[in-house]
Copies of this chain bind each other. A is one copy, B any other.
Amino acid sequence: MLKNVAIASKPAKEEISERLDEEQAKLAANQMRIRSAQVPVVVIFEGWGAAGKGSVLGKVIKDMDPRFFSVATLDAKPTEEERMRPFLWRYMVEMPAQGQFKFFDTCWMEEVTDGLARDELDGAAYDRRIDSINMCERQLVDNGYLVMKFFFHLSKEEQRRRLDALSAHKNTRWRVNEDDYRENEQYDRFLHIYDRYLRDTNRSSAPWYIIDAEDGRKWATLQVLEFLNNGIEVAIHNRGASAPLRQNVFPLKHVKPLSAIPLDKTMEFEEYRNQLKELRGRLRMLHYEAYRKRIPVVIAYEGWDAAGKGGNIKRITSALDPRGYRVYPIASPEPHEKARHYLWRFWERLPKDGHIAIFDRTWYGRVMVERIEGFCSNNDWRRAYNEINEFEHELVEAGTVVIKFWVQIDSETQLERFTDRQNTPEKQWKITDEDWRNREKWDQYEQAVNEMLARTSTTFAPWHVLESNDKRYARVKAMRIVVNAIEKACRRKS
Protein backbone atom coordinates (compact mmCIF):
# COMPACT_ATOMS: atom_id res chain seq x y z
CA MET A 1 0.00 0.00 0.00
CA LEU A 2 3.03 2.24 0.31
CA LYS A 3 3.94 1.93 -3.31
CA ASN A 4 0.81 3.57 -4.58
CA VAL A 5 -0.49 5.46 -1.61
CA ALA A 6 -2.48 8.58 -2.25
CA ILE A 7 -0.54 11.37 -0.72
CA ALA A 8 -2.78 14.31 0.04
CA SER A 9 -1.79 17.33 -1.98
CA LYS A 10 0.08 19.86 0.07
CA PRO A 11 -1.78 23.12 0.60
CA ALA A 12 -0.17 26.56 0.41
CA LYS A 13 2.10 27.64 3.23
CA GLU A 14 -0.32 30.05 4.87
CA GLU A 15 -3.09 27.50 4.77
CA ILE A 16 -0.89 24.96 6.49
CA SER A 17 -0.10 27.34 9.32
CA GLU A 18 -3.71 28.23 9.72
CA ARG A 19 -4.94 24.65 9.78
CA LEU A 20 -2.06 23.68 12.05
CA ASP A 21 -3.15 26.20 14.66
CA GLU A 22 -6.69 24.93 14.37
CA GLU A 23 -5.75 21.28 14.75
CA GLN A 24 -3.38 21.95 17.60
CA ALA A 25 -6.10 23.73 19.52
CA LYS A 26 -8.47 20.92 18.68
CA LEU A 27 -6.01 18.33 19.99
CA ALA A 28 -5.66 20.20 23.25
CA ALA A 29 -9.44 20.15 23.62
CA ASN A 30 -9.63 16.52 22.48
CA GLN A 31 -7.07 15.55 25.07
CA MET A 32 -9.47 16.74 27.75
CA ARG A 33 -12.36 14.93 26.10
CA ILE A 34 -10.29 11.74 26.04
CA ARG A 35 -9.58 12.30 29.68
CA SER A 36 -13.18 12.69 30.67
CA ALA A 37 -14.31 9.86 28.37
CA GLN A 38 -11.53 7.73 29.93
CA VAL A 39 -10.35 6.33 26.61
CA PRO A 40 -6.75 5.08 26.51
CA VAL A 41 -4.93 6.23 23.37
CA VAL A 42 -1.98 4.53 21.67
CA VAL A 43 -0.23 6.53 18.94
CA ILE A 44 2.42 4.74 16.91
CA PHE A 45 5.00 6.55 14.77
CA GLU A 46 6.89 4.46 12.26
CA GLY A 47 8.67 5.32 9.03
CA TRP A 48 11.87 5.90 7.11
CA GLY A 49 14.98 7.10 8.88
CA ALA A 50 15.31 10.89 8.85
CA ALA A 51 11.63 11.26 7.99
CA GLY A 52 11.21 13.58 10.94
CA LYS A 53 9.17 11.39 13.28
CA GLY A 54 10.86 12.86 16.32
CA SER A 55 10.40 16.46 15.42
CA VAL A 56 6.78 15.96 14.35
CA LEU A 57 6.16 14.22 17.65
CA GLY A 58 7.59 17.28 19.37
CA LYS A 59 5.11 19.50 17.56
CA VAL A 60 2.17 17.19 18.15
CA ILE A 61 2.61 17.17 21.92
CA LYS A 62 3.47 20.86 22.08
CA ASP A 63 0.16 22.00 23.52
CA MET A 64 -0.76 18.82 25.33
CA ASP A 65 -0.97 18.59 29.08
CA PRO A 66 2.13 16.62 30.05
CA ARG A 67 0.38 14.96 32.94
CA PHE A 68 -1.74 12.96 30.58
CA PHE A 69 0.66 11.67 27.98
CA SER A 70 4.03 10.03 27.80
CA VAL A 71 6.43 8.90 25.09
CA ALA A 72 7.93 5.44 24.78
CA THR A 73 11.14 5.23 22.80
CA LEU A 74 11.92 1.61 22.20
CA ASP A 75 14.91 0.53 20.23
CA ALA A 76 14.29 -1.61 17.16
CA LYS A 77 16.54 -4.21 18.72
CA PRO A 78 15.22 -5.45 22.07
CA THR A 79 17.73 -5.39 24.90
CA GLU A 80 19.10 -8.56 26.44
CA GLU A 81 16.63 -8.07 29.28
CA GLU A 82 13.68 -7.54 26.95
CA ARG A 83 14.49 -10.59 24.89
CA MET A 84 13.92 -12.71 27.98
CA ARG A 85 10.18 -12.09 27.66
CA PRO A 86 7.62 -12.77 24.91
CA PHE A 87 7.90 -10.55 21.84
CA LEU A 88 4.92 -8.36 22.77
CA TRP A 89 5.96 -7.90 26.39
CA ARG A 90 8.04 -4.75 26.19
CA TYR A 91 5.22 -3.04 24.28
CA MET A 92 2.40 -4.31 26.45
CA VAL A 93 3.91 -3.04 29.67
CA GLU A 94 3.98 0.44 28.12
CA MET A 95 0.26 0.50 27.38
CA PRO A 96 -1.43 3.64 28.71
CA ALA A 97 -4.22 3.87 31.25
CA GLN A 98 -7.68 5.24 30.48
CA GLY A 99 -7.61 8.90 29.60
CA GLN A 100 -3.89 8.77 28.87
CA PHE A 101 -1.95 9.04 25.61
CA LYS A 102 1.10 6.94 24.91
CA PHE A 103 3.22 7.86 21.92
CA PHE A 104 5.45 5.10 20.59
CA ASP A 105 8.37 6.52 18.66
CA THR A 106 8.62 3.31 16.69
CA CYS A 107 6.86 0.27 17.97
CA TRP A 108 6.60 -3.39 16.97
CA MET A 109 6.70 -2.60 13.27
CA GLU A 110 10.31 -1.50 13.41
CA GLU A 111 11.35 -4.57 15.34
CA VAL A 112 9.74 -6.83 12.74
CA THR A 113 10.89 -5.00 9.61
CA ASP A 114 14.36 -4.69 11.08
CA GLY A 115 14.38 -8.45 11.63
CA LEU A 116 13.31 -8.99 8.03
CA ALA A 117 15.94 -6.59 6.72
CA ARG A 118 18.69 -8.38 8.64
CA ASP A 119 17.39 -11.76 7.47
CA GLU A 120 16.91 -12.73 11.09
CA LEU A 121 13.21 -13.43 10.63
CA ASP A 122 12.16 -16.15 8.22
CA GLY A 123 8.76 -16.43 6.57
CA ALA A 124 7.10 -18.51 9.28
CA ALA A 125 8.50 -16.39 12.11
CA TYR A 126 7.38 -13.25 10.28
CA ASP A 127 3.87 -14.66 9.90
CA ARG A 128 3.75 -15.43 13.61
CA ARG A 129 4.78 -11.87 14.43
CA ILE A 130 2.08 -10.51 12.16
CA ASP A 131 -0.50 -12.73 13.83
CA SER A 132 0.66 -11.54 17.26
CA ILE A 133 0.53 -7.90 16.26
CA ASN A 134 -2.87 -8.11 14.62
CA MET A 135 -4.18 -10.02 17.62
CA CYS A 136 -2.78 -7.48 20.02
CA GLU A 137 -4.05 -4.41 18.18
CA ARG A 138 -7.48 -5.99 17.85
CA GLN A 139 -7.59 -6.89 21.55
CA LEU A 140 -6.62 -3.35 22.51
CA VAL A 141 -9.33 -1.84 20.33
CA ASP A 142 -11.91 -4.42 21.43
CA ASN A 143 -11.15 -3.43 25.00
CA GLY A 144 -11.68 0.26 24.43
CA TYR A 145 -8.28 1.50 23.27
CA LEU A 146 -7.85 3.90 20.39
CA VAL A 147 -4.87 2.78 18.30
CA MET A 148 -3.58 5.26 15.69
CA LYS A 149 -0.71 4.21 13.43
CA PHE A 150 1.31 6.60 11.30
CA PHE A 151 3.95 5.73 8.75
CA PHE A 152 6.25 8.58 7.65
CA HIS A 153 7.00 8.18 3.99
CA LEU A 154 9.99 9.67 2.21
CA SER A 155 11.60 9.29 -1.21
CA LYS A 156 15.07 7.90 -1.66
CA GLU A 157 16.45 11.21 -2.87
CA GLU A 158 15.00 13.27 -0.05
CA GLN A 159 16.18 10.77 2.52
CA ARG A 160 19.69 10.93 1.08
CA ARG A 161 19.66 14.68 1.12
CA ARG A 162 18.63 14.76 4.78
CA LEU A 163 21.16 12.16 5.85
CA ASP A 164 23.93 14.09 4.16
CA ALA A 165 22.78 17.32 5.74
CA LEU A 166 22.68 15.75 9.20
CA SER A 167 26.10 14.15 8.78
CA ALA A 168 27.63 17.39 7.64
CA HIS A 169 27.28 19.07 10.98
CA LYS A 170 28.91 17.90 14.17
CA ASN A 171 25.85 18.72 16.26
CA THR A 172 23.57 16.49 14.28
CA ARG A 173 25.98 13.80 13.15
CA TRP A 174 25.04 11.53 16.06
CA ARG A 175 21.51 11.27 14.70
CA VAL A 176 22.70 9.38 11.63
CA ASN A 177 24.12 5.89 11.71
CA GLU A 178 25.15 3.15 9.33
CA ASP A 179 21.67 1.66 9.37
CA ASP A 180 20.19 4.85 7.99
CA TYR A 181 22.61 4.84 5.09
CA ARG A 182 22.00 1.15 4.51
CA GLU A 183 18.26 1.82 4.39
CA ASN A 184 18.91 4.53 1.84
CA GLU A 185 21.20 2.42 -0.31
CA GLN A 186 18.78 -0.48 -0.30
CA TYR A 187 15.74 1.78 -0.59
CA ASP A 188 13.77 -0.49 -2.92
CA ARG A 189 14.33 -3.49 -0.74
CA PHE A 190 13.15 -1.62 2.33
CA LEU A 191 10.21 -0.19 0.41
CA HIS A 192 9.14 -3.73 -0.33
CA ILE A 193 9.54 -4.80 3.31
CA TYR A 194 7.60 -1.81 4.64
CA ASP A 195 4.90 -2.19 2.03
CA ARG A 196 4.43 -5.84 2.94
CA TYR A 197 4.18 -5.09 6.64
CA LEU A 198 1.73 -2.23 6.14
CA ARG A 199 -0.51 -4.40 3.98
CA ASP A 200 -0.38 -7.28 6.43
CA THR A 201 -1.40 -5.13 9.38
CA ASN A 202 -3.82 -2.69 7.77
CA ARG A 203 -6.93 -3.88 9.58
CA SER A 204 -10.21 -2.14 10.34
CA SER A 205 -9.48 -2.14 14.06
CA ALA A 206 -6.36 -0.04 13.52
CA PRO A 207 -5.75 1.12 9.95
CA TRP A 208 -2.51 2.71 8.80
CA TYR A 209 -2.16 6.36 7.91
CA ILE A 210 0.65 7.17 5.54
CA ILE A 211 2.14 10.60 6.14
CA ASP A 212 3.78 12.55 3.34
CA ALA A 213 7.02 13.43 5.13
CA GLU A 214 8.73 14.67 2.00
CA ASP A 215 7.57 18.22 2.21
CA GLY A 216 8.49 19.81 5.46
CA ARG A 217 7.78 19.23 9.10
CA LYS A 218 4.75 21.49 9.32
CA TRP A 219 2.91 19.66 6.59
CA ALA A 220 3.70 16.29 8.11
CA THR A 221 2.53 17.52 11.51
CA LEU A 222 -0.71 18.79 10.03
CA GLN A 223 -1.47 15.43 8.45
CA VAL A 224 -0.84 13.61 11.71
CA LEU A 225 -2.98 16.03 13.68
CA GLU A 226 -5.90 15.82 11.30
CA PHE A 227 -5.97 12.03 11.39
CA LEU A 228 -5.41 11.97 15.13
CA ASN A 229 -8.20 14.42 15.87
CA ASN A 230 -10.55 12.53 13.61
CA GLY A 231 -9.63 9.25 15.28
CA ILE A 232 -10.24 10.71 18.71
CA GLU A 233 -13.62 12.03 17.70
CA VAL A 234 -14.65 8.64 16.33
CA ALA A 235 -13.37 6.87 19.45
CA ILE A 236 -15.25 9.19 21.78
CA HIS A 237 -18.36 8.77 19.71
CA ASN A 238 -17.99 4.98 19.90
CA ARG A 239 -17.26 4.73 23.57
CA GLY A 240 -19.20 1.84 25.05
CA ALA A 241 -19.53 0.02 21.76
CA SER A 242 -19.15 -3.75 21.90
CA ALA A 243 -16.75 -5.80 19.86
CA PRO A 244 -18.00 -8.81 17.92
CA LEU A 245 -17.34 -12.18 19.50
CA ARG A 246 -14.62 -14.25 17.93
CA GLN A 247 -14.64 -17.98 18.06
CA ASN A 248 -11.66 -19.69 19.58
CA VAL A 249 -9.40 -21.07 16.87
CA PHE A 250 -7.11 -23.14 19.05
CA PRO A 251 -7.45 -26.88 19.50
CA LEU A 252 -9.19 -27.71 22.76
CA LYS A 253 -8.86 -30.67 25.08
CA HIS A 254 -11.96 -32.31 26.35
CA VAL A 255 -12.50 -31.74 30.07
CA LYS A 256 -15.08 -33.16 32.41
CA PRO A 257 -17.49 -30.89 34.25
CA LEU A 258 -16.63 -30.49 37.93
CA SER A 259 -19.58 -32.61 39.02
CA ALA A 260 -18.13 -35.60 37.17
CA ILE A 261 -14.86 -35.53 39.08
CA PRO A 262 -14.71 -37.95 42.04
CA LEU A 263 -13.25 -36.31 45.14
CA ASP A 264 -12.55 -39.42 47.17
CA LYS A 265 -8.85 -39.56 46.40
CA THR A 266 -6.63 -39.53 49.47
CA MET A 267 -3.01 -40.13 50.38
CA GLU A 268 -1.55 -41.52 53.60
CA PHE A 269 0.90 -39.29 55.39
CA GLU A 270 3.81 -41.70 55.00
CA GLU A 271 3.40 -41.95 51.24
CA TYR A 272 2.79 -38.22 51.00
CA ARG A 273 6.05 -37.49 52.80
CA ASN A 274 8.05 -39.89 50.65
CA GLN A 275 6.61 -38.74 47.36
CA LEU A 276 6.90 -35.10 48.29
CA LYS A 277 10.53 -35.60 49.18
CA GLU A 278 11.32 -37.30 45.92
CA LEU A 279 9.45 -34.71 43.86
CA ARG A 280 10.98 -31.83 45.73
CA GLY A 281 14.43 -33.10 44.90
CA ARG A 282 13.61 -33.47 41.25
CA LEU A 283 11.96 -30.06 41.06
CA ARG A 284 14.97 -28.40 42.68
CA MET A 285 17.29 -29.80 40.02
CA LEU A 286 14.83 -29.04 37.25
CA HIS A 287 14.57 -25.45 38.39
CA TYR A 288 18.32 -25.06 37.84
CA GLU A 289 18.14 -26.83 34.52
CA ALA A 290 15.27 -24.61 33.36
CA TYR A 291 17.24 -21.58 34.48
CA ARG A 292 20.27 -22.73 32.55
CA LYS A 293 18.17 -23.47 29.48
CA ARG A 294 16.29 -20.19 29.87
CA ILE A 295 12.85 -21.73 30.02
CA PRO A 296 10.23 -19.50 31.66
CA VAL A 297 7.44 -21.16 33.64
CA VAL A 298 4.01 -19.81 34.54
CA ILE A 299 1.96 -21.68 37.13
CA ALA A 300 -1.59 -20.46 37.51
CA TYR A 301 -3.77 -21.40 40.47
CA GLU A 302 -7.52 -21.02 40.55
CA GLY A 303 -9.96 -22.79 42.83
CA TRP A 304 -12.64 -22.50 45.45
CA ASP A 305 -12.05 -20.45 48.56
CA ALA A 306 -10.37 -22.66 51.20
CA ALA A 307 -9.55 -25.28 48.59
CA GLY A 308 -5.93 -25.24 49.70
CA LYS A 309 -4.23 -23.12 47.05
CA GLY A 310 -1.87 -21.46 49.52
CA GLY A 311 -0.58 -24.69 51.02
CA ASN A 312 -0.26 -26.21 47.61
CA ILE A 313 1.83 -23.32 46.34
CA LYS A 314 3.98 -23.49 49.47
CA ARG A 315 4.93 -27.09 48.70
CA ILE A 316 6.03 -26.08 45.22
CA THR A 317 8.06 -23.08 46.33
CA SER A 318 9.72 -25.09 49.07
CA ALA A 319 11.65 -26.81 46.29
CA LEU A 320 12.62 -23.64 44.43
CA ASP A 321 15.61 -21.36 44.66
CA PRO A 322 14.15 -18.06 45.89
CA ARG A 323 16.21 -16.09 43.38
CA GLY A 324 14.41 -17.81 40.54
CA TYR A 325 10.71 -17.60 41.31
CA ARG A 326 8.07 -15.21 42.43
CA VAL A 327 4.56 -15.71 43.80
CA TYR A 328 1.92 -13.16 42.82
CA PRO A 329 -1.22 -13.11 44.94
CA ILE A 330 -3.88 -11.58 42.71
CA ALA A 331 -6.64 -9.53 44.32
CA SER A 332 -8.98 -6.98 42.77
CA PRO A 333 -7.05 -4.76 40.38
CA GLU A 334 -5.56 -1.53 41.69
CA PRO A 335 -6.89 1.68 40.10
CA HIS A 336 -3.92 1.95 37.72
CA GLU A 337 -4.47 -1.67 36.70
CA LYS A 338 -8.19 -1.36 36.29
CA ALA A 339 -7.53 1.58 33.98
CA ARG A 340 -5.79 -0.69 31.47
CA HIS A 341 -6.48 -3.78 29.38
CA TYR A 342 -7.44 -6.46 31.89
CA LEU A 343 -4.45 -8.60 30.90
CA TRP A 344 -2.00 -5.75 31.39
CA ARG A 345 -1.21 -6.52 35.01
CA PHE A 346 -0.36 -10.09 34.01
CA TRP A 347 1.81 -9.02 31.10
CA GLU A 348 3.67 -6.90 33.62
CA ARG A 349 4.27 -9.88 35.89
CA LEU A 350 5.45 -12.35 33.27
CA PRO A 351 8.60 -14.23 34.27
CA LYS A 352 11.89 -13.71 32.51
CA ASP A 353 13.42 -16.63 30.67
CA GLY A 354 14.51 -19.22 33.20
CA HIS A 355 12.26 -17.84 35.94
CA ILE A 356 9.06 -19.15 37.48
CA ALA A 357 6.00 -17.04 38.17
CA ILE A 358 3.27 -18.51 40.34
CA PHE A 359 -0.09 -16.77 40.25
CA ASP A 360 -2.41 -17.27 43.20
CA ARG A 361 -5.57 -16.41 41.26
CA THR A 362 -5.15 -15.19 37.72
CA TRP A 363 -6.48 -13.56 34.56
CA TYR A 364 -9.37 -16.04 34.76
CA GLY A 365 -11.01 -13.62 37.16
CA ARG A 366 -12.44 -12.09 34.00
CA VAL A 367 -14.65 -15.10 33.31
CA MET A 368 -15.44 -15.89 36.96
CA VAL A 369 -15.76 -13.08 39.48
CA GLU A 370 -16.01 -10.29 36.89
CA ARG A 371 -18.63 -12.26 35.01
CA ILE A 372 -20.68 -13.15 38.04
CA GLU A 373 -20.43 -9.84 39.84
CA GLY A 374 -21.09 -7.89 36.65
CA PHE A 375 -17.73 -6.06 36.80
CA CYS A 376 -17.55 -6.32 33.01
CA SER A 377 -20.20 -6.58 30.32
CA ASN A 378 -21.58 -9.86 28.99
CA ASN A 379 -19.81 -9.23 25.75
CA ASP A 380 -16.55 -8.60 27.61
CA TRP A 381 -16.38 -11.93 29.41
CA ARG A 382 -17.68 -13.88 26.45
CA ARG A 383 -14.97 -12.36 24.31
CA ALA A 384 -12.39 -13.08 27.00
CA TYR A 385 -12.17 -16.86 26.46
CA ASN A 386 -10.60 -16.31 23.09
CA GLU A 387 -8.52 -13.38 24.30
CA ILE A 388 -7.11 -15.45 27.16
CA ASN A 389 -6.30 -18.35 24.86
CA GLU A 390 -4.53 -15.90 22.57
CA PHE A 391 -2.60 -14.51 25.53
CA GLU A 392 -1.49 -17.95 26.69
CA HIS A 393 -0.66 -18.88 23.12
CA GLU A 394 1.73 -15.93 22.99
CA LEU A 395 3.43 -17.20 26.12
CA VAL A 396 3.74 -20.74 24.82
CA GLU A 397 5.00 -19.51 21.45
CA ALA A 398 7.72 -17.68 23.36
CA GLY A 399 8.75 -20.97 24.96
CA THR A 400 6.92 -20.58 28.27
CA VAL A 401 5.67 -23.63 30.12
CA VAL A 402 2.11 -22.77 31.15
CA ILE A 403 0.54 -24.90 33.88
CA LYS A 404 -2.99 -24.20 35.04
CA PHE A 405 -4.51 -25.72 38.18
CA TRP A 406 -8.11 -25.74 39.26
CA VAL A 407 -8.10 -26.71 42.94
CA GLN A 408 -11.34 -28.57 43.49
CA ILE A 409 -13.23 -29.37 46.67
CA ASP A 410 -16.88 -30.04 47.29
CA SER A 411 -19.25 -27.66 48.98
CA GLU A 412 -19.32 -29.62 52.25
CA THR A 413 -15.56 -29.57 52.56
CA GLN A 414 -15.56 -25.84 52.04
CA LEU A 415 -18.15 -25.42 54.78
CA GLU A 416 -16.03 -27.50 57.17
CA ARG A 417 -12.93 -25.47 56.45
CA PHE A 418 -14.78 -22.15 56.70
CA THR A 419 -16.18 -23.18 60.07
CA ASP A 420 -12.79 -24.34 61.20
CA ARG A 421 -11.25 -21.05 60.19
CA GLN A 422 -13.95 -19.13 61.98
CA ASN A 423 -13.38 -21.10 65.15
CA THR A 424 -9.61 -21.06 65.17
CA PRO A 425 -8.24 -17.70 66.30
CA GLU A 426 -4.99 -17.89 64.30
CA LYS A 427 -6.90 -18.75 61.11
CA GLN A 428 -9.62 -16.13 61.44
CA TRP A 429 -7.80 -13.68 59.18
CA LYS A 430 -8.30 -16.17 56.38
CA ILE A 431 -12.08 -15.92 56.39
CA THR A 432 -14.14 -12.87 55.51
CA ASP A 433 -17.74 -12.00 54.93
CA GLU A 434 -17.00 -12.01 51.25
CA ASP A 435 -16.06 -15.67 51.39
CA TRP A 436 -19.47 -16.42 52.83
CA ARG A 437 -21.17 -14.31 50.19
CA ASN A 438 -19.28 -16.07 47.41
CA ARG A 439 -20.22 -19.40 48.89
CA GLU A 440 -23.88 -18.56 48.39
CA LYS A 441 -23.16 -18.26 44.67
CA TRP A 442 -21.58 -21.72 44.49
CA ASP A 443 -23.86 -22.90 41.67
CA GLN A 444 -23.30 -19.81 39.56
CA TYR A 445 -19.55 -20.16 40.01
CA GLU A 446 -19.65 -23.85 39.23
CA GLN A 447 -21.37 -23.14 35.93
CA ALA A 448 -18.86 -20.41 35.10
CA VAL A 449 -15.93 -22.67 35.99
CA ASN A 450 -17.27 -25.49 33.83
CA GLU A 451 -17.58 -23.12 30.89
CA MET A 452 -14.10 -21.76 31.56
CA LEU A 453 -12.55 -25.24 31.71
CA ALA A 454 -14.28 -26.24 28.47
CA ARG A 455 -13.34 -23.12 26.55
CA THR A 456 -9.80 -22.55 27.72
CA SER A 457 -8.40 -26.03 28.08
CA THR A 458 -6.23 -25.76 25.01
CA THR A 459 -3.76 -28.40 23.93
CA PHE A 460 -0.90 -25.98 24.62
CA ALA A 461 -2.17 -24.82 28.02
CA PRO A 462 -4.59 -27.37 29.44
CA TRP A 463 -6.29 -27.17 32.82
CA HIS A 464 -5.40 -29.68 35.51
CA VAL A 465 -7.98 -30.33 38.18
CA LEU A 466 -6.48 -31.01 41.62
CA GLU A 467 -8.82 -33.07 43.80
CA SER A 468 -8.19 -31.28 47.07
CA ASN A 469 -10.67 -32.69 49.57
CA ASP A 470 -7.48 -34.37 50.67
CA LYS A 471 -4.86 -31.66 50.51
CA ARG A 472 -1.99 -34.13 50.56
CA TYR A 473 -3.22 -35.83 47.45
CA ALA A 474 -3.64 -32.48 45.70
CA ARG A 475 -0.17 -31.29 46.66
CA VAL A 476 1.58 -34.36 45.37
CA LYS A 477 -0.46 -34.32 42.18
CA ALA A 478 0.36 -30.66 41.53
CA MET A 479 4.03 -31.19 42.19
CA ARG A 480 4.12 -34.16 39.85
CA ILE A 481 2.44 -32.20 37.05
CA VAL A 482 4.87 -29.32 37.48
CA VAL A 483 7.85 -31.67 37.50
CA ASN A 484 6.68 -33.51 34.40
CA ALA A 485 5.92 -30.33 32.47
CA ILE A 486 9.28 -28.70 33.21
CA GLU A 487 11.12 -31.94 32.55
CA LYS A 488 9.45 -32.27 29.17
CA ALA A 489 10.34 -28.70 28.25
CA CYS A 490 13.94 -29.20 29.36
CA ARG A 491 14.25 -32.35 27.33
CA ARG A 492 12.94 -30.59 24.24
CA LYS A 493 15.55 -27.89 24.67
CA SER A 494 18.66 -29.98 25.11
Contact = CB atoms under 8 A, between A and B. Distances in A.
Interface stretch (A4-12, A37-45, A48-56, A85-93): A4-12
A32 interface: no
A379 interface: yes
Interface in A207-246: 207-210, 227, 230-231, 233-234, 237-238, 241-246
Nearest to A223: B247
A422 interface: no
A5 B205 contact: no
Interface in A1-59: 1, 4-9
A155 interface: no
A251 interface: yes
A424 interface: no
A248 interface: yes
A244 B234 contact: yes
For A1, A247, A254, the residue with the greatest tally of chain B CB atoms inside 10 Å of its CB is A247
A245 to B, nearest CB: 6
Contacts of A142: 204
A46 to B, nearest CB: 14
A234 B249 CA distance: 21
B204 A247 contact: no
Contacts of A209: 247
Interface of A: 1, 4-9, 138, 141-142, 202-210, 227, 230-231, 233-234, 237-238, 241-252, 254, 379, 382, 454-455, 458
B244 A4 contact: no
Query: A1, A204, A208, A243: which has the most chain B beta carbons within 10 Å?
Result: A204
A58 to B, nearest CB: 23
A180 to B, nearest CB: 26
A6 B250 contact: yes
Contact of A6 (B4, B203, B248): B248
Contacts of A210: 247
Contacts of A238: 238, 241-242
Contacts of A252: 6-7
Contacts of A249: 1, 4-6, 202
A490 to B, nearest CB: 26
Which 9 residue pairs are nearest across A and B when measured between Cβ atoms? A4-B251, A6-B248, A6-B252, A1-B249, A241-B241, A234-B242, A238-B241, A207-B246, A204-B205
Contacts of A231: 244-245
Given A234-B244, A382-B230, A455 B207 contact: no
A491 to B, nearest CB: 24
A191 B477 CA distance: 40
Contact of A247 (B207, B245, B455): B207
A142 B238 CA distance: 12
A104 to B, nearest CB: 18
